[in-house]
Each structure stands twice: as structure tokens, then as C-alpha cells.
Amino acid sequence: MKGSLEDLIELLRLERLEKNLFRGQSRDIGSPRVFGGQVLGQALSAAQQTVEDRAAHSLHAYFLRAGDVNAPIVYDVDRSRDGRSFTSRRVVAIQHGQQIFHLAASFQRPEQGVEHQDEIPDVPSPEDLPDASEYHRSGKVPDKLSRFVSRQRPFEFRPVQTPAFLSEEKLPPRQQIWFRTVAKLPDEETLHKTLLAYVSDYGLVGTATMPHGISFIEGNVQVASLDHAMWFHRDARVDDWLLYDCDSPSASAARGLARGAIFSRDGRLIASTAQEGLVRVWSGPRK
């Protein structure tokens, strides 16, 4: 298993301080703040470690403050309810004495029921698409994003469309990207779910910028996650190719809403996501 992926797995394991109290570290992935997906994955990991014999089926989270990559994060888990079929947990992430993140998660015992799902979009296979790192090697990525794009990552990404941040063209608010971990993973359902939560924050809210011809090259754009919701429908391995199909139905009041559907390569709908983010554009570069 490659170093960056091993490091991420260790990051998501967390250190147990007390029965309901956990501590996690952070990693600099090339952005000035803690990556939202990291906090999301760690909070889900903390909640999962207080639940037995039940799998996460949904989570709802709010990002309250930017995280400091140089300081640990403490996760306080509230065991809200242990029912016959469902278990509920609330998690508060704390850093420097302040709450930076809230998560509510629900877990369900295995159960059979009716089934239906949307169809997977008709897009090229990942083998027919360039790796996202090739856009960095093209020299078109702005300096501000270069460090973020060029760092070694635990995931491979194969965008179906040219990344929106490289263009000022106004595009329909929809994009797809194939992704998988850079190496095989253990057969551990909770690990695959925490990694899926982690990666679900990549590029989702950026879909809301596509109809407006917003280019990150100019340095006059601020995009930040405000909240994140996720529903786990079916089990899947994140070390096999998964397709993230994202669209944005609305943007207003400096906020953009994006939705996502994650499909396995054989067409099963694995998870659904929704996220609202801050989208601010200035008339010139921000000082």
C-alpha cells in the first residue's frame, strides 16, 4: 500500500482518549486549512467506534470554523440513542477550545427491503481518460492551486470533463469524475465508508461555479463548504473505480448547492451526497 494511503488510513483510525472521546491529527494537503473531508471522515470514524453490528446509512454535518492543520482535533461523541433497528450518534469536533464541526450520524442493523435506483450516466471508462495529475503537468494550473494539485494523493482521479477551475467558459452545472484509492485495501466495511466520506468532499461544491465562468486562475474566488450530507445505499470497495456524478440545481446569496451520486463500475448506486458551499467572487484579486 502506498505511503499516502497508509498515512490517510492511520489518520482516520484516531486515538481513543476516553470511552466517547477521540483525538485525530491533520495533514497538509496543499490548502491553507484542514480539508473538510478529513474532518468528515474522522468524525464518522469516531462515531463508528461507539457502535457495534450496525452500519452507517446517513450523516449530516456542518463546518463551523476552518481547522488548523498544525493542531490535533478532539472528537466528542454523544451516544444519543441505541434502538432496536437504528443507532444515533452526535459528534462535536473541537480545536483550540472551540467547536469547528458538528456531525449527526445514523446506523442501521442489516435488513432486507424494496429496492430501486437511478441509472449510472453513460460516460467514458476511466481507462480512456487522463489522470488529473496530467492537468498539472500541462502548466495551466495557477500557482495558488499548483501545490494542492501536485501533491501525492491517496486517490486516483480521472475527470470526465476538463476541470472547471482551468476555464472561464460558462458550462452546464454538471460534472463526473472516476476515483479509487491508489492501492488495495483490507476487507473492512467501516474503513471503506470512512474513506468514501473523506473523498466525497472533493470538488462537489465546485460544480456550483460552472454556469458562471468562474476561473480560479484569477485569484478572486472564495469557495468553502458550509454543510455536507451523505446517504450510504449499498456496500462498495473504494479501491475499485467509482463514478462521482455531480450537479448543482441552484446558486444564490453567495451560496451554491451541489448534489452527488456515487456509482460502482457495474452501475450500482452506492451513495448520495448534498452540500451547500460559500461561493464569493470579487471584482479583482483579493488582497
In this predicted structure, what is the pLDDT of residue 132?
Answer: 84
Q: Which amino acid does the sequence have at 135?
A: Y
Is 119 inside a domain boundary? no
Domain that holds residue 276: 3-109+130-281
Is 167 inside a domain boundary? yes
Higher pLDDT, 78 or 220: 78
Q: What is the arithmetic mean of pLDDT over 257-278?
A: 97
Higher pLDDT, 144 or 238: 238
Q: Active-site residues: which are they?
A: 201, 225, 275
Q: What are phi and psi of 199, to 5 degrees?
A: -75, -15
**Burial bucket for residue 25 (CB in 10 Å: 0-12, 13-18, 19+):** middle
Using CA atoms, how far residue 98 sits from 72, 76, 84, in Å, is 12, 12, 34
Q: What is the CATH number of the domain that holds 154?
A: 2.40.160.210
Q: What is the arithmetic mean of pLDDT over 18-40?
A: 90
Is 115 inside a domain boundary? no
pLDDT tier at 282, thresholds 50, 70, 90: confident
Grid look-up 481518460 returns: 129
CA distance 270 to 149: 26
Cell digits of residue 54 = 450496525
Is 124 inside a domain boundary? no
Q: What is the arithmetic mean of pLDDT over 31-42?
A: 90
Model confidence pLDDT, tens digit, residues 121-174: 999 999 999 988 777 665 555 554 555 455 668 999 999 998 766 667 889 999
> For residues 36 and 44, is the Cβ–Cβ distance under 8 A?
no
- The 3-state DSSP class for residue 280 equals strand
Q: What is the arithmetic mean of pLDDT over 186-213?
A: 93
Using CA atoms, how far residue 266 sits from 48, 161, 177, in Å, is 28, 21, 15
Is 68 inside a domain boundary? yes
Is 120 inside a domain boundary? no
Is 287 inside a domain boundary? no
Higher pLDDT, 242 or 3: 242
Is 174 inside a domain boundary? yes
Q: Report the number of distinct structural domains present in the chain.
A: 1
Q: What is the pTM of this model?
A: 0.92
In our burial notation (b when 16+ CB lie closer than 10 A, e otherwise), range 245-270 reads bbbbeebeeeebbbbbbbbbeeeebb
Q: What is the arithmetic mean of pLDDT over 204-227?
A: 83
